[in-house]
Amino acid sequence: MSPDPEADLARLREICLALPRAAEKLSHGAPAFFIEKGKVFAYFSHNHHGDGRTAVQVKTSGLDEQAMLVEAESGLYYVPPYIGHAGWVGLRLDTGGTDWEHVADRVARSWRLVAPARLAPALD
């Protein structure tokens, strides 16, 4: 777990809310980031059900990409409960020396996967 989950959430919030039409709401008691009037693209998780992790959960292109990420970097990525079956992946923020550029890239990819086609050019 992160020694300062509030700082991690603040940093993640900056990344997420900088994306076009992004907003935040609570989902099952945890911060979720979504495209206004649309779908969630990132969830913040801290010690969810006592799992001992601080992470962001993001959408991937599917189970193949999810499996590739987890296999390539199992200390960084994991399959989250409840949403993992739909191709979401957990990206740990508590491994020490979080690469926030990498986090921002994964969050932006997730945003693109759920954004309506009319918004996608906003990131180009």
Q: What's the pLDDT tens digit per position in 42-93?
A: 999 999 888 999 999 999 999 999 999 999 999 999 999 999 999 999 999 9
pLDDT score recorded for residue 122: 67
Q: What does the angle CA 63 – CA 42 – CA 76 come to, to the nearest 5 degrees?
A: 60
Q: Which fold has domain 5-119?
A: Aspartate Aminotransferase, domain 1 (3.90.1150)
Count, residues in the chain: 124
Please report where in the chains the tokens 């935040």 appear, as a residue.
24
